[in-house]
Amino acid sequence: MPLALPAPVTLGSVLWYVVTRIQVGRARTKYKVYAIGYWAEARRRHTGFAISTFALSITWVAALVSVVRMVGFAAWSPSGNGGPRLA
C-alpha cells in the first residue's frame, strides 16, 4: 500500500479533531461548564489558542500539499507507485 493512502485519513482525523474542539468550546460556553484549564480569564487564553491554531493550520496545510503532490506523482509515475520503475 502506498504511503499516500493513509495520509488523507490522518488529515481527515486531524480535521475532525479541530471541529470537535470547536464544538466542545461552544458547548462549554453555552452551558457554563468549565474545565480546570479554563479557570483563567479568556484574555489570557487567547494568545495560546491563537498560537496553537496557527501552528496546527500551517502543519495541516503543509501535510495536505505533500499528500496532493505524492498522490499526483504516484499517478503520473510509469510504475504507479511514485518510485523508479525496475525492469
Structural domain span for residue 49: 6-76
40: DSSP letter: S
- Asked if residue 54 is part of any domain, the answer here is yes
Output the CA–CA distances (angstroms, integers) from residue 64 to 4, 14, 27, 47, 74, in the order listed: 10, 11, 29, 26, 15
- Asked if residue 83 is part of any domain, the answer here is no
- Asked if residue 35 is part of any domain, the answer here is yes
- Asked if residue 1 is part of any domain, the answer here is no
Residue corresponding to grid cell 498560537: 51
- Asked if residue 81 is part of any domain, the answer here is no
* Domain count across the chain: 1
**How many C-beta atoms lie closer than 10 Å to residue 71's C-beta?**
16
Q: What is the pLDDT of residue 87?
A: 45
Question: Amino acid letter at 3?
Answer: L
At 86, the pLDDT band (50, 70, 90 cuts) reads very low
Residue corresponding to grid cell 506523482: 73
- Asked if residue 51 is part of any domain, the answer here is yes
At 6, the pLDDT band (50, 70, 90 cuts) reads confident
- Asked if residue 60 is part of any domain, the answer here is yes
8 A C-beta contact, residue 45 and residue 51:
no
